[in-house]
């Protein structure tokens, strides 16, 4: 064996070992991330006595899945909760896009006095959770008699500083030559944004849409504050109906409900995962 051959063999061995370690680590992390979903689905098909059993089994020893799903659909109006969640998510997302896209474009392309200060305020807004302005928002909605409405569920999230930041990062890499050519053709600034830039920024919009819909579909904190009417409950708040203060929660039906509620998000991601990954990569949001 020549020295070059021996070096090549050692290099190939090191690359193979390194590749195995990387893929092994990713596989372990993937299993850790997916295990709660697996356990949710398996528990949805278990009887109550198996849920509290001291023994561990990967699959249900007694299959009662359809009973749990029937109970879930009978005990609570899940379809109504999911419709409420869809209305809230769609309303919030549309207003967020309508406000954040022009703001992101202005911060990315225009230089004006105070632009750096304004962008700093956007970054500062990323650090403020909804719990901070919750009391003033609640008092304002109560004073205007807007509690127990779709508007109350949506209004705190109409302006998204995360969306402004995301679109600013995306618009900064948009080719300036295309913008200048559109201006020479006589297009207005708003026409350039909505007719040229936005259609070319579908990956960034898809990425933000996933973040927004997932966040507001799963939100429990704000609906718990402003909603007491069962007809307006969102999916997470509706799932609380399976907890009985006297007999406890029916975990089989609860997990069946959680499976039904989670399914739309999984389907949404499967449809736009390519745009989502591309949008996250292009905007540098990790």
Could you give the count of Cα atoms lying within 13 Å of 254 in the half-sphere of its Cβ? 15
- The whole-number pLDDT of residue 92 equals 95
- The whole-number pLDDT of residue 118 equals 87
Strand 243-244 and strand 248-249: the pairing is antiparallel
Q: Is the pLDDT of residue 6 over 70?
A: no
Under CATH, which number does the domain 80-236 receive? Answer: 1.10.3720.10
Lowest mean pLDDT among 160-164, 169-173, 272-276, 277-281: 277-281
- The whole-number pLDDT of residue 86 equals 93
Residue 127 is encoded by which pair of tokens?
Answer: 């650090």
Residue appearing with tokens 């609380």: 240
Say if CB 50 and CB 63 are below 8 A apart.
Answer: no
Residue 143 — very low, low, confident or very high, per pLDDT cuts 50/70/90?
very high
SS3 246: coil
- The whole-number pLDDT of residue 244 equals 55
Q: Is the pLDDT of residue 88 over 90?
A: yes
Model confidence pTM above 0.75: yes
SS3 243: strand
Q: Where are the domains of the chain?
A: 80-236
Say if CB 157 and CB 216 are below 8 A apart.
Answer: yes
d(CA 250, CA 242) in angstroms, rounded, equals 6
Percent of the chain with pLDDT over 90: 20
Sign of CA dihedral 49, 51, 55, 57: positive
Sign of CA dihedral 104, 106, 109, 115: negative
Q: What is the dihedral of CA 24, 273, 91, 232, to 10 degrees?
A: -50
Closest alpha carbon to 72 in 263, 228, 245: 263
Better pLDDT: 208 or 8: 208
Q: What's the rounded mean pLDDT across residues 46-62?
A: 70
Q: Is the pLDDT of residue 141 over 50?
A: yes
Q: What's the rounded mean pLDDT across residues 16-29?
A: 81
Lowest mean pLDDT among 101-105, 165-169, 253-257: 253-257
Say if CB 222 and CB 134 are below 8 A apart.
Answer: yes
Mean model confidence pLDDT for the chain: 81
Q: What's the rounded mean pLDDT across residues 33-38?
A: 84
Q: What's the rounded mean pLDDT across residues 129-142?
A: 88
- The whole-number pLDDT of residue 1 equals 47
d(CA 33, CA 60) in angstroms, rounded, equals 21
147-198 pLDDT, tens digit each: 999 999 999 999 889 999 989 988 888 888 888 888 888 888 889 999 899 8
198-246 pLDDT, tens digit each: 888 888 888 888 889 989 998 889 998 998 888 889 988 888 766 654 4
Instruction: Kindly list the distances between the CA atom of residue 286 and the CA atoms of 172, 207, 255, in Å, as whole numbers in the listed order.
Output: 17, 11, 30
């Amino acid at each position: 064996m020549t020295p070059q051959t021996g070096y090549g063999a050692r290099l190939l061995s090191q690359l193979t070992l390194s590749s195995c370690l990387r893929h092994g680590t990713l596989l372990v992390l993937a299993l850790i991330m997916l295990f709660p979903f697996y356990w949710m689905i398996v528990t949805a098909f278990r009887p109550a006595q198996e849920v509290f059993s001291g023994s561990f089994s990967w699959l249900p020893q007694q299959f009662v899945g359809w009973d749990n799903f029937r109970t879930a659909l009978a005990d609570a109006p899940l379809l109504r909760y999911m419709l409420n969640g869809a209305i809230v998510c769609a309303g919030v997302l549309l207003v967020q896009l309508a406000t954040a896209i022009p703001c992101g474009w202005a911060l990315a392309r225009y230089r004006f006095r105070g632009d750096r200060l304004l962008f700093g305020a956007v970054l500062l807004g990323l650090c403020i959770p909804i719990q901070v302005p919750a009391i003033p928002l609640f008092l304002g909605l109560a004073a205007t008699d807007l509690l127990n409405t779709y508007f109350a569920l949506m209004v705190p999230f109409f302006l998204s500083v995360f969306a402004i930041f995301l679109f600013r990062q995306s618009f900064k890499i948009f080719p300036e030559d295309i913008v200048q050519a559109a201006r020479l053709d006589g297009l207005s600034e708003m026409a350039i944004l909505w007719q040229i830039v936005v259609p070319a920024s579908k990956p960034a919009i898809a990425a933000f849409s996933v973040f927004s819909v997932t966040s507001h579909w799963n939100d429990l904190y704000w609906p718990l504050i402003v909603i007491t009417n069962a007809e307006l409950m969102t999916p997470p708040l509706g799932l609380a109906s399976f907890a009985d203060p006297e007999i406890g929660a029916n975990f089989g039906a609860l997990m069946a409900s959680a499976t039904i509620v989670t399914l739309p998000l999984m389907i949404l991601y499967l449809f736009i995962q390519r745009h989502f990954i591309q949008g996250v990569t292009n905007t540098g949001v990790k």
